[in-house]
A and B are shown apart, each in its own frame.
Chain A
Amino acid sequence: MPIPVKSLKAQQHQFANPAFQLEVLQHAGTEEGDFPLFGAKLQQHQLYPLRPTGTTILQVNVGKMCNQTCRHCHVDAGPDRKEIMTRDTMQLCLDALAKSPQLTTVDLTGGAPEMNPDFRWFVEQLSAMGRQVIVRCNLTIILANPKYHDLPEFFKAHQVQVVSSLPYFSASRTDAQRGDGVFEKSIKALQMLNQVGYGQEGSGLELNLVYNPSGAFLPAGQKSLEGEFKRRLKSGYDIEFNNLFCITNLPISRYLDYLVESGNYSSYMEKLVTAFNPVAAVNVMCRNTISVGWDGALYDCDFNQMLELKVQPGTPQHIRDFDLDQLDRRQIVLDQHCYGCTAGAGSSCGGSTT
């Protein structure tokens, strides 16, 4: 199945519409009937209503623009997406952080966050505030244009933790998900990161890789796959990294489109529902993370953001009104896609949760 070069939005595809996605998700089931509602499932395990356990991570989506159009992207990011966070909104994030010392980590995502013209300014401010900065770097951006070639040094200067997707240690599986030539460029970018010290023992520069299945199946056990990745990347390309995060693909946006188009939608949903793990449900990331959209709107996670499911009404809806005490008492907004975070070993932006 070829990877489209345009976003679903640019194609005016029906799955670009969050309301349509939710409708599809809410009517999924087998011959025996619709899948149980996620909230009801949590209720069975005394976890409903789901509430934060104490928010420590501010995840900021600085825009949907990206140099890639990955087949599974839940953001529907791509070169044709123009939604970008302004410096003014970034300043509102900095103000919110200044009054919320509990938020020790800021996780920057996109699109390719580095394509935001104020990205470096934002990282410099965050670093000056002493917050741990995570950048979700797609690797190929480092090679996309000479102006990005020094990103490894920039990351190092601000002790940024780099988290990068590499769905497999072979070109075929990686390129099938992320686009032709992505594997080769990713390998080169990883070598550049290694050269400045990333992933090297004792450097303090953390380089973590993300594995998402390239297809309609669940991820492997994280520890076992991490060993295999380390062995293969070292022997094949002399690459070192710290941790592998195994992340389940959530059935939204382009991945939902892939599931439906490939005829795997019902069986994938059934897998997620059958593999519901109450321990993973206890540890879901929305209990310690708040997500900020490119326009400053607040969400329980990046997936809810893409489905335009804002935080519970009655709590601050925008970063300008940020109040962590109030947000920490909110009820987390749930829907059927949440089964993706509670299947098997659990899934979060930091990998497995059990």
Chain B
Amino acid sequence: MENTYYNPADLKKFGNISELQPEMGRKFFDYYGEVFKEGALTEREKALIALAVSHAVQCPYCIDAYTSDCLEKGADENQMMEAVHVAAAIKGGAALVHGVQMMNKIKDLTM
């Protein structure tokens, strides 16, 4: 067992998750591959979405992988940072919008 929770070398071993459950692993990676193919969205747009989500879910493996992928797909630093701000805005907004729930509760509880 590592003495840290995250090891950059583990990213390359992602495929190994199939060892303990081959069928589900295969289905997941087939699906994953399909999702990132060019469709109504370009591969670059999908990589930028993935980068933003990586930040929202705060996954260091995903940030590593999708920073490289965005560069490889031809995105530039401005686009990538804007994508991260979109993630930040949604995460911040998601926290703040619950302020309405808080305000409703305040109304319920106060004179």
Q: Which residues of A contact B (CB under 8 A)?
A: 168, 170, 172-173, 211, 213, 215, 217-221, 224-225, 228
Contact = CB atoms under 8 A, between A and B. Distances in A.
A170 B68 CA distance: 19
Contact of B44 (A172, A211, A217, A228): A228
A220 B73 contact: yes
A211 B72 CA distance: 11
A321 to B, nearest CB: 43
A211 B78 CA distance: 18
A224 B44 CA distance: 8
B25 to A, nearest CB: 19
B73 to A, nearest CB: 5
Given A213-B71, A215-B71, A221 B76 contact: no
B42 interface: yes
28 contacts: A168-B76, A170-B78, A172-B76, A172-B77, A173-B76, A173-B77, A211-B74, A213-B72, A215-B71, A217-B68, A217-B71, A217-B72, A218-B72, A219-B72, A220-B43, A220-B44, A220-B72, A221-B38, A221-B43, A224-B38, A224-B42, A224-B43, A224-B73, A224-B74, A225-B44, A225-B73, A225-B74, A228-B74
B39 to A, nearest CB: 12
Chain B interface main SS type: helix
Interface of B: 38, 42-44, 68, 71-74, 76-78
Contacts of A170: 76, 78
What are the 5 tightest A-B residue pairs by CB atom distance, in nearest-first order? A220-B74, A225-B74, A217-B71, A220-B73, A217-B72
Nearest to B71: A217
Contacts of B38: 221, 224
Contacts of A224: 38, 42-44, 73-74
Contacts of A221: 38, 43, 73
A168 B73 CA distance: 12
Given A170-B78, A215-B71, A221-B43, 4 more contacts: A172-B76, A217-B68, A228-B44, A228-B74
A180 to B, nearest CB: 17
A217 B38 CA distance: 20
Contacts of B68: 217
A230 to B, nearest CB: 12
B44 to A, nearest CB: 6
A138 B76 CA distance: 22
Contacts of A211: 74
